Amino acid sequence: MKTCSINKLLFVALFVPFILFSCSDDDEITPTTSDDDDSGTTSEYTDINEWILANMDYYYFWNDEIPDDPDLTLEPSDFFESLLYTYDATSNPEGDRFSYISEDADELISSLSGETTSTGMEYRLFYVSATGNEVLAQIVYTIADSPADEAGLERGDMFTKVNGTTITDENYIDLLYYTTDMTITLAEVENSTLVELDETVSLTAATIQENPIYMDTVLEVDGQKIAYLVYNQFIPAPNNSSNTEYDDQLNEIFTEFKAAGATELIVDLRYNPGGYVTSATTMASLIGTGVSSNDLFFREEYNDGLQEEIAAYYGDSYFEENFTDLSGNIGGQISRVYFLVTGSSASSSELVINGLLPYMNVYLIGETTYGKNVGSITITDDTDGDNNWALQPIVMKAYNSLGNSDYSAGFTPDIEVSEDLELVPFGDTSDPLLGTALSAISGSSRFGNVNNEDAPRVIANSVSRKKVTFRKISAEALE
């Protein structure tokens, strides 16, 4: 039975740093498994489940918590779930909330690089009333050149129906996540009342590649030049690309921020669920004050067996990720950085925050972040068999240079503020999060809206479906 092994490549994904794993006949470090089934029971899933078990035994961060005699006859997704270190908010808050399995390896790998088959609209969902189960969808942004963008949909647009069916808390997954051809019925709020419009928009999902850099500009406030960046996912380059196109664009943007004389920086991560560790390292290296390739960005910890084996193979330096020396680093012109965050800000977003804390003043504005201080890898079976499953298990925990990794409950913002139901374009100074940051910088209260206790409660959003995880990419592949 073929299993997957470590293959140190040159890229990374979100939520915590991790290595990209793949299968190769030449790999040196690899889990082993027996062809003998000691359970005495076989099923059509036994071979797949043995492959899952071998890799989880080898890579899983909590491999010492895997049950001794798992049921190999279960359907693979159920079998995978049966192996996990169960999370409980009260009794086991350090348990596993993040590992998952996919039936389609190709789709998973593409999505981790920002390529998806979708309409290109990201949205959040609210209850229409305090008592019913009807749900209102509101677009938070559209991806450039996507079907939603080309149809003229914009940030703040609302809709209540898909293909004539009212959205509820029972059907929104089927209507929004698994519908490729949809006609949405628009709505708006008039005098605090939701009004359904006689206006529909038809959309057909397409394969789209998202550039994570959504907006960059320099705002001038009271004579101060403030760099502002909206960054929606940590992706180094388009899917199936071996270059660093998007990371290079980041370096160019920060070079322009420097040339413009910016002395303050606001990075908008409110919809950023994470991504590649290499891109997180790039981001942190562009921001950090006084950092260089001699300074530690973060350190990795694996399960005892894997930690020992990696150390023997690569040395202890493998576990340390230093900053990189980039021409665009703006740290010499700023003394602090403001991050705009929400509950959707996760993984690599939090990795950057945690990694910068020892080196400069970091301020958070918005809502408590997601709380992912661990990282995962993608495990696939590249043999010629019929196994197209992909595993995304947690394999490591990340610590900053001070040894801190205490944000499993998320980072609490320095100033708590939520988005209003009336969304304004990115860069608009009346935006509650951006405006609050500008007020903090300028000492003025004329921007934004801090006292928005009546902001609607989000019950779900499309960004949370981007199950990205930190994947670490090195310069050399394992020979």
Are residue 267 and residue 404 in the same domain, yes or no? yes
Residue 28 is predicted with a pLDDT of 40
Q: Which two tokens stand for residue 302?
A: 């694996």
Q: Which of 174, 208, 242 is the last residue of a domain?
A: 208
Are residue 194 and residue 255 in the same domain, yes or no? no
Residue 12 is predicted with a pLDDT of 26
Are residue 223 and residue 359 in the same domain, yes or no? yes
pLDDT at residue 408 tops 70: yes
Are residue 197 and residue 235 in the same domain, yes or no? no
Residue 241 maps to a domain: yes
pLDDT at residue 221 tops 60: yes
Are residue 125 and residue 250 in the same domain, yes or no? no
Beta strands in 235-294 (DSSP E): 264-268
Residue 51 maps to a domain: no
Q: Whose CA is closest to 377, among 303, 445, 315, 451?
A: 303
Q: Could you report the per-residue pLDDT of 249-304, keeping only the tens digit for each?
A: 999 999 999 999 999 999 999 999 998 899 999 999 999 999 999 999 999 999 99
For 375, list phi and psi in degrees, rounded to 5.
-130, 160
The residue range of the domain holding 175 is 115-208
User: To the nearest whole percent, how much of the chain has pLDDT over 70?
Assistant: 84
Residue 94 maps to a domain: no
CATH number at residue 361: 3.90.226.10
For 214, list phi and psi in degrees, rounded to 5.
-90, -35
Are residue 281 and residue 424 in the same domain, yes or no? yes
Confidence bin at 41 (pLDDT 50/70/90)? low
Residue 197 is predicted with a pLDDT of 96
Are residue 345 and residue 233 in the same domain, yes or no? yes
Q: Could you report the per-residue pLDDT of 53-98, keeping only the tens digit for each?
A: 999 999 999 999 999 999 999 999 999 999 999 999 889 988 999 9
CATH number at residue 164: 2.30.42.10
Q: Could you report the per-residue pLDDT of 441-475, keeping only the tens digit for each?
A: 998 776 655 555 556 667 677 776 543 333 332 22
Residue 416 maps to a domain: yes
Spatial distance between the Cα atoms of 78 and 451, rounded to a whole number of angstroms: 45
Are residue 142 and residue 203 in the same domain, yes or no? yes
Are residue 143 and residue 245 in the same domain, yes or no? no
Confidence bin at 129 (pLDDT 50/70/90)? confident
Cβ-Cβ contacts under 8 Å for 97 (sequence gap 6 or more) = 87, 372
Confidence bin at 121 (pLDDT 50/70/90)? very high
Overall domain count for the chain: 2
Are residue 272 and residue 412 in the same domain, yes or no? yes
* pTM score of the predicted model: 0.85
Cβ-Cβ contacts under 8 Å for 298 (sequence gap 6 or more) = 17, 321, 351, 354, 355, 398, 399, 400, 401
Give the 3-state secondary structure of 353-378.
Answer: HHHHCCCCEEEEEECCCCCCCEEECC
**Average pLDDT score, the chain:** 86
Report the range of poorest mean pLDDT among 143-147, 286-290, 373-377, 395-399.
373-377
Average pLDDT over residues 400-413: 96
Q: Which of 175, 208, 241 is the last residue of a domain?
A: 208
Q: Could you report the per-residue pLDDT of 137-192, keeping only the tens digit for each?
A: 999 999 999 999 999 999 999 999 999 999 999 999 899 988 899 999 999 999 88
Spatial distance between the Cα atoms of 17 and 14, rounded to a whole number of angstroms: 7
Residue 359 maps to a domain: yes
Average pLDDT over residues 193-203: 95
Residue 333 maps to a domain: yes
Residue 73 maps to a domain: no
Higher pLDDT: 89 or 204? It is: 204
Cβ-Cβ contacts under 8 Å for 237 (sequence gap 6 or more) = 11, 113, 243, 244, 245, 246, 247
Residue 446 maps to a domain: yes
CA–CA–CA angle 277, 280, 283 (5° rounding)? 155
Q: Which of 208, 226, 258 is the last residue of a domain?
A: 208
Are residue 156 and residue 253 in the same domain, yes or no? no
Give the total residue count for the chain.
479
Higher pLDDT: 239 or 22? It is: 239
Are residue 341 and residue 202 in the same domain, yes or no? no
Cα radius of gyration rounded to whole Å, the chain? 23
